[in-house]
Structure formats: structure tokens, C-alpha cells
Structure 1
Amino acid sequence: MEKMFVFILLMFHCCYALPIATHDGTGENPNIEYLKQFGWYSGGTDDIDDDVELSLKIEEFQEFAGLKVTGKFDEPTISKMQAPRCGIPDEISGNEAHSTRRRRNAFQGSAWEKRNLKYYIGNRTTDLKPSEIQDGIEYAVKLWSDNSGLTFTQVDDAAVSDVRFDFVNKIHGDQKEFDGPGKVLAHAFFPNEERRGQVHFDEAETWLGPKQYHDPSGTKYNIMVLAAHEIGHVLGLEHTSNETKSIMKPWPVKYYKNFELPSDDITSIQTLYRNSQNEMRLDLCNTSKIKFDAVLQGPQERTYFFSGIYYWEIVSSGIKQGYPKLLFELFPDVEEAKEMTGMDAIVFSSNTKKIYVFKDNQFWRFNSNFEMDKDYPKLIIETGLPDNVDSAFEQDGHIYIIKKKKVYIFDEEQQKTFKHTSTKLQHTFPGVPKGTNGALTWRNDHTYFFKKDKFYKFDKILGKVAEEYPRPIKRGWICL
């Protein structure tokens, strides 16, 4: 009987105990307080139901943060919670629940009625010269204006501004007190909030100029990168999950030379502010800069170029009349079309008449009418391919997938890569650069690779990139 009693106690403990971090001496668990502060959890831990709910909320946060999902406050989770970040909650109160898969393009639920915004720079930090602050914010503003139908004009009068930038200390009048060095770096207000347009940077942080890299110790922050993130909130964008390529992740992204707005953010801002002006701005022959996400030689040998929420059909004379069109017009499933905007790669199989789309860690399969097959999307890891592939195309009945310097062959029947087919890009396709945005095999049986605004012709007979390449995509495909 005694052994049975002990067994029951052990069973009760194993089934219902929830690992919780130690308290900080104030009676509050700092990890639970973090989940509450950033919108993940609002309950208590007085009864077993709350404990179960807490474990689920920890799992949701872990998935969002790109961590191993354990439902416990383990070391990687606590470390992530202690990392410097934006002060805006990840889960906005009152919004429909998000799954991690839907957190690439997250909208807070409001947007500006106007398309021409005025901004003002108020209190400045002593860490930087006035010119560095000016250049950093100007660069950040331009990232968004270059990729949307919005314009930003700097003004000297705060009273007429829509957006205002200030460096402030702990208590600064908005009930969102800063916490000193580290932790919360900045916050902003959405278009439907009373203080809309306001961006606050914590003056207690150490700030770097717009062209300086983040300090390796993680205690200094690039003003341009943080400003660009907060402007996203000002325009109506929420946080996206940590596994995206978005600047809207809660934790600061790294600065790099000639920094560009990530494709996920271009998709988000164009979706939120799409209008006729925005479509006019995407007239490729009159636009100085365009970067395609992917290209497709599709059903009935129709050729498509994709960028964000838009796509173009290309014919022998260049862009077909009536384009660009919205991606939703090509793929009947609107929600999946939204998920696929900013895709990594797309390819059509002449063998099975199936279309495959790859983005981040997922892939979709469609029939030749662009209707999604059952049980998709699926995780790319299940195929043996790496996530975030660069491009895909079909040649001689095989589907090739490229990621950086490697080439893979995809087995459609098994939905996996063929064993031992991973080869080096330069061995298989000499002269083709790494980091291609798209690829297709044309009707002349040669394969064309696209990178930024250039394209390369891989001559099948010569077995290498043809001479006089790369060439501008505009002159070769778009504006004929």
C-alpha cells in the first residue's frame, strides 16, 4: 500500500508539474512578467488550468522566437527573453490569434488615410552628431517610401508633423517607461492610437551612426535599423516571427552595407497600402530599381516574374498588357497567396503538371490551374532540402533547386531530394553566381538565371555561361 501511495504521488507530480523559473525576490516571476508585458499571457498561476495555459503560451512564444518548443522556461528561452528588443507587444490585444506561419506579414489593423506623411526630428541623443541622426532617420524613411505608395517630407515644425522621432529617458509621459540600458530599446504608436506617429528611442542606450555595425557585445545599436523597425509600427505593421527575413522582428536585425528593406516587409507594406498609385510605381520600364523574388516558365509555356504581391506575364514583346496584377489573381486561394508573397522560388514540372512554391521553411504544390493540392503546405525539412532556397527550375525532366553554392535534384514521387545528388553550383552550372533570385529553362532549351537586375544565359551545348553575360533584365525580358 505504501509503495502504491508513493507511485500515485509521483504520477501526480510528473503529469502536472510545470517548470517555472525562480522568482526575482519581489514576489513576481520575471519570465511570466515578460510574457505578460509582450502580450503572450495574461493569466495567473494559482490553479492547475492556468499552469497548463502558461505552458501553451510558452510554446507559442518559443515557436515565434524560433526556439525549440518545450513549453518550459529553459535556458535558450530565458536567454531570448533577456535579449534587447522593441517595446511593442508581439501579440496585440484584441486581434485575431496568429499562428507562427501567419506572422510573416502581420497587420495591426490600422493604416494612415493619407499617403503623404510629414516627419519631425525632436529630442536628439548626445551619442551621435546631428548629421548622423538626420542621415539615419532619412535612410530609414527612404526604405519604406521606395517600396510603397507613401512619401515622407521632413518639416521643422512639430505641430504640422504626422511622425515624430525623439530620444527620451525613463519616464517620458506616455505610460511606457523605459528601463535603462538593454532590454527595451525603442517603441512607437500605431495609426489608430492617440499618440500615433510618435517614435521614442531610449536615450539610456548607446547609439551608433547609420553606417556603423552593431557592437559585437550587443550594447550599441544602429540608429537607422531601429528607426526603420519603428517606422514599420507607425505605418501599421506588427511584429513578425524571428524566422522571417523581416525587419519587423522584435529583436534588432544586423546592419550590412547598402542595407535594403527585406522582401517580407515590401510585401507587407504594399499589401497594406496598395492602390492605383502604388501599381503605377511598379511600371518596370520606368522604375530605376526592381528586384524579382522568383521567375517561372509555367503551364502552356507562359512566363511569369514575381515581386512581392505582384506578378507580370512576359511575352515575346516584353510585359503583357494589363500587368502587373496581384498575386491573388493567379492563385485562387487568397490566404495562401498572401503567405507566398515574397516567395523564394517557384517551378513547374512538365512531368506531373505540378507547380511548386518555396518560401522560408515551407513549400506548396499546385495543379496547372494554380489550385493548391490537399495537405499542403509542408515543411521543407521533410524533403531533405535546406530552408530559404534561392531558385528552382526544370531541365531535362529534372527539378533543380539551388541554395547558395549547392545544387539539389528534387524527387517528385518521393517528395525528397535524390540521395547523393547535392553538388557544387560551379561544377554543375559553371559561371552561374550564387544567390540567384530565379531561374527557368527557355524554349530554346537554354537555362537563364536571374540575380538582382541582371540575367545569365547558361548555354546547354557549351556547358557554361555564354559570353557577353550577364545582361540587364530590362533589355532582355521586360522592355523589348
Structure 2
Amino acid sequence: MELLCMWIPVLGSLMFLEISWTRPIEQRIMPEDVKLAEVYLRSFYSLKQNDRNNQGATRRVRSVSAMEDKIREMQNFFGLEETGNLDSHTLDVMREPRCGVPDVDNFSFYPNRPKWKNHTITYMIAKYTPDMRREDVEKSLYLALKMWSNAAPLRFIEVNHGKADIVFTFARRMHGDFSPFDGPRGVLAHAFQPGEGLGGDVHFDEDETWTAGKQGYNLFVVAAHELGHSLGLTHSKDPSAIMYPSYKHSKTPQTLSIDDLLGIQMLYGKPKRKVETQPVAPKKCDPSFSFDAAAVLENEIIFFKSWHMWIRTTRPTYWNRLKEGHISTYLPDITSPIDAAYDIPAKGAAYIFTGHKYWVVQQLKTRSRAGSIYEYGFPSRVRQIDAAVHVSEYGKTMFFTGDFYYRYDENKKKMDPGFPRLIQTDWQGLQRGVDAAFKLHGSLFFLSGAKSYQYDYKQKRVVKIIAGNSWLGC
């Protein structure tokens, strides 16, 4: 779990830092990329402003070293390869819409851990956005508040006049707190941690398009994150956490991760009523049930959905035997929902993907090692994998993302040329994207929506379609 720390929005104007790179890097870095990185690192990683009057070589070398150190710090936070260079993956992360709160501690403002002394906290909506109906704004903020009050002994009361602990407002550019917004994308919102005056307040950038759905930026998702800061939490490195700094509105319902729960309960304690610290298992026999990932390990098929997993043996004698549980029970290093997985029987290992990270697992309930998906050679635009499957006869692994798939040569350790290609062009019979895949008894099985497709990869055709959750005995 991330260390809980204090923050107040960065004060003052941002000035560009003169810098010269003293060692070769893999790609040409444009001046605008360097300026982007300087502003980003100064805003979120405490990169200090240089003395612009000192132009000596010693100062420039020192500046480069400080810049590289901050880039490594940022790369470490987001699970990227720590090169210290502005590679394409690093720049892509820097361009992602995100929260305006820094990712590192700022102890000069908050030497202690502030929190609300009174667990009954008042709030007020000072200004609404014209993007949404007032009732939709109120509902989104109510649900965000409820998420935190369900996890800790906190009570939120709305007030319409007078003074409130937390004030929500929508504003553009300069708006009176010395932390101007930057227009569309970039910083979406920021919040102040508990305290007097601005303490606890949440500001949303009105230059964004706010919604209650998937278009634009979902107000509930952003508000839930910012309220974590209002209550005293800092950013988390866990991509599944509400307190992860980059905006995400995934297919998985937004809930507090284990990291979020530990953080808020460290500050305020556990709720008086029992809280569900682990998400309830999805209803596997629902006709619309779909999977997130699947793989075979140790003669068992492992299916993943949200934070839950099911294990079914491949041995005929025990074919109907099914075990299930929370992901962390069987994979102690992984606390995020699984996006994709594949196995290589010859190595006795499964490769499990969450966001831009992957884990190599050789045995359940044991430690596993992690890596980055970019080690496979994916372009920076690929932020996560939807499904993967390995065909041992060819030594190839197929990765599916959106409408496309990549083919990776496990022996040469590189992507095959000519990829990505369209899924529907090469995998006839699959009607939409692939959610999960695995290989069993000489066939490939693709789980797409509520259906399971048995695919003969030698004949290159679908030979059977059944309900996906029939694998779970439904």
C-alpha cells in the first residue's frame, strides 16, 4: 500500500527549464516533448526550477541529472522501464488525462497526516456544470461520497448555505487557488486535503466534457478519486485503485481496491457496520456473464472475472470439480482485476496481465515476478491486453486488443512482422473482440461476450459455440 502523504496544489507559475541531453537516446526528442516533461515533473514530481541566470556547463549537467532522476521516479511509479529517458511510453503516460495532485510527498506543506477530526463532514455544491443535469451532478457526487462512507466511519451531510467542509465547484483556468487549470484534457480536477479554508475542496475543470456515462469524463469516477484526497489520501501505484492518478473508466465497475480500503481505514478506522472488504463474486450463471481472462496451469483451467477467479480441473475423473475465490487468495502479488492471461506448458508457467504490467506465475499461492508489456514490443498506444493464447506447436503467442491482434514469437522474443492485423480477417467466425482465450486438447477456446467459441486452428474455423459460463457448470 502506498504511504499516505499530504498535498496542496502546486503554487506559482510554471517556467521552462533549459536542458541539454548528454547521452544518446533511442528516439529524437522534440523541444515540445522536453517542455511537456519539465512541466509534468515540476507539477507532479517536485522537479526544482533552475537558476536561469547560471548558464555554466556544471549547472546544465546537474540539471540533466536531476531531470533524469525525476523521470526514473515517474517511470517507477507507473511501472515503466526505468531508463531516465523520455521514451515514447513515458511521454504517452505524461499525456494521459489525470488528477492535478502530485504523485510525490510535499512535506513542506503538510509535515503531518491531516484528516478530519469530526467524522461528520459537511459538503456543498457551489457551482454546477452546464454539461449535465443538476440531478445527475448531485447523484454522481452522492455516489462518490457514499463509496468512502461505506468503507470508513464517516458521515456526509449536504448544506445549502453557510460554511461547508468540502466545497465542490466547476471552474476554468485561473480560479482563485493559484493552481490554474490547463484547458481540455491534461489535468481534469484537483483537491485539497483536510484543513481550514480551501482544505477539502474539490475543483473540476469546466473545459472538460462531464457526463454520467462513458462519453467525455465520468464525474462519479473523477469525484471519487478527488474525494480520496479531500479525506487525506495520496496517489496509489495500483492501477485498479480509485487513487491511481491517471483517469480510467474501464468495463469493471468502479469499487475501492484493497489499497484504497487500507488507506482510508488507516486514517479513520473501520466502519461500525461490517464492510465488504472484497468484492462479491460475480453471478456466474447470469445469461449475460462474460469473462476477463483464462489460462491453463498445473492441469487446471483458471477463469478470471473482476477480482474473482474459478479453477476447474482438466482431469476427466474430477471434471466437475470447481474451486473459486478472490484473486489475492491464489495470486498474492496481484491485487488488480486480470485483463488477459496465457500459459506455456513447456515452461510450466502462466503469464498474467493487468494494465501495462504482467506477472509470471508457476504455481498458485506463491510469489511471482513482474514485468512490463512493452518488453514484448507493443507500441506505446497499447495500454492493456484484452486476451492472449499460446500455440505451442508454432511457438507463437497471439495477443488480442480491441479489433486487432498481434503475433509474438516466443523463441525469437519479438513480434512477427506485419502485425497487428484485424481479428475478423484472420479468425473467421468470431463476431466481436476477444475477452479471454485458452488452449485445451488441441483446440483454441475464445470467450467473447456470453459465448465460448471452440476454434480449430489447423482448419481455421469455429467448430462449436456454447454458453461461456457452461465452463463454470451453468
For the criterion TM > 0.5, the same-fold answer is: yes
Superimposed CA distance per residue, residues 51-98 of structure 1 (whole angstroms, 9 cap, x where no aligned partner): 2443225534774799998868xxx97x969x9863311222369xxx
| CA 462–209 in structure 1, closer or farther in 2 if over 3 Å, else same | closer
Could you say if the C-alpha distance between residues 330 and 225 of structure 1 is closer, same or farther in structure 2, counting changes exceeding 3 Å?
A: closer
1:390 matched to 2:394:
no
Q: What SS does the corresponding residue of 2:46 show, helix, strand or coil?
A: coil
Q: Distance in 1 between matches of 2:295 and 2:424?
A: 22
Q: Specify the SS of the correspondent of 1:297.
A: strand
Q: Greater shift after overlay, 163-172 or 50-59?
A: 163-172
* Residue 302 of structure 1, aligned match among 283, 294, 300: 300
Which residue number corresponds to residue 40 of structure 1? 46
1:426 to 424, 441, 458: 424
Would the aligned equivalents of 1:408 and 1:422 in 2 still touch at CA under 8 Å? yes
**Which residue pairs with 1:448 in the alignment?**
445
SS of match in other structure, 2:347: coil
For the Cα contact (< 8 Å) 2:233–2:264, is it kept in 1? no
**Which consecutive unaligned segments of at least 5 residues does structure 2 have?**
1-19, 24-28, 314-318
Deviation at 1:385, TM superposition (A): 5.1
Q: Find the partner of 1:56 among 45, 53, 68.
A: 68
Residue equivalent to 1:92? 105
Is residue 297–residue 349 contact of structure 2 (8 Å, CA) maintained in 1?
no
> How far off is 1:464 after superposition?
0.9
SS of the equivalent of 1:436 reads coil
Is 1:401 the counterpart of 2:398? The answer is yes
Contact 2:202 / 2:227 at 8 angstroms: preserved in 1?
no
Where does 1:231-270 land on structure 2 (aligned, <5 Å)?
Answer: 231-234=227-230, 238-239=234-235, 250=245, 260=251, 268-269=259-260
The aligned amino acid for 1:198 is G
The aligned runs of 1:146-185 (5 Å cut-off) are 155-157=157-159, 164-167=166-169, 176-179=177-180, 182=183, 185=188
Whichever structure has more helix as a proportion of its residues is 1
1:131 aligns with 2:114: no
Please tell me whether the aligned partners of residues 386 and 435 of structure 2 are also in contact (alpha carbons under 8 angstroms): yes
Amino acid aligned to 1:125 = Y
1: distance between equivalents of 2:206 and 2:199? Answer: 22
C-alpha displacement at 1:292, in angstroms?
4.4
For 2:199 and 2:123, the matched residues in 1 are separated by 10
Cα drift, residue 456 of structure 1: 1.3
Unaligned runs of 5+ in 1: 1-12, 23-28, 96-107, 215-220
1:172-219 Cα deviation digits (max 9, x unpaired): 7xxx444367386532245xx4479934225875764435844xxxxx
SS at match of 1:337: coil
Q: Deviations over 1:118-152 (max 9, x none)?
A: 8844323263542242244356568x58xx96899
Question: Which amino acid counterpart does residue 466 of structure 1 have in structure 2?
Answer: K
Contact 2:455 2:462 survives alignment (8 Å): yes
2:125 is equivalent to residue 122 of structure 1? yes
1:272-283 matched pairs, under 5 angstroms: 277-278=275-276, 281-283=279-281
| TM-score, normalised via structure 1 length | 0.61
Q: Establish whether residue 337 from structure 1 lines up as the match of residue 334 from structure 2.
A: yes
List per-residue Cα deviations over 1:211-254 (Å, max 9, x = no partner).
Answer: 5844xxxxxx764453244245457764468x96887665656x
SS in structure 1 of the partner of residue 345 of structure 2: coil
Q: How many residues align?
A: 409
CA deviation after TM superposition for structure 1 residue 477, in Å: 3.3
Task: Give the match's secondary structure for 2:334.
Answer: helix
Partner of 2:7: none
Any residues of structure 2 matched to 1:408-423 within 5 Å, and which?
Answer: 408-417=406-415
Does structure 2 conserve the Cα–Cα contact (< 8 Å) formed by 1:431 and 1:464? yes
Contact 1:44 1:50 in 2 (8 A): no
Distance across 1 between alignment mates of 2:471 and 2:155:
35
- Pairing 1:134-145 to 2, within 5 Å after superposition: 134-138=138-142
Q: What is the alpha-carbon distance in structure 2 between the residues aligned to residue 478 and residue 197 of structure 1?
A: 50
Once the two structures are TM-superposed, the CA of residue 36 in structure 1 deviates from its matched residue by 4.1
Structure 2 contact 322–472 (Cα < 8 Å) conserved: yes
- Distance in 2 separating the partners of 1:33 and 1:249: 20
User: Does the Cα contact within 8 Å between 1:141 and 1:152 map onto a contact in 2?
Assistant: no
> TM (normalized to structure 2)?
0.62
SS of equivalent residue, structure 1 residue 89: coil
Aligned to 2:311: 313
Counterpart secondary structure, 1:356:
strand
Partner amino acid, structure 2, of 1:478: L
CA RMSD of aligned residues (A): 5.7
Shift of 1:466: 2.4
Conserved 8 A contact 1:391-1:436: yes
Q: Which amino acid aligns with 2:169?
A: F
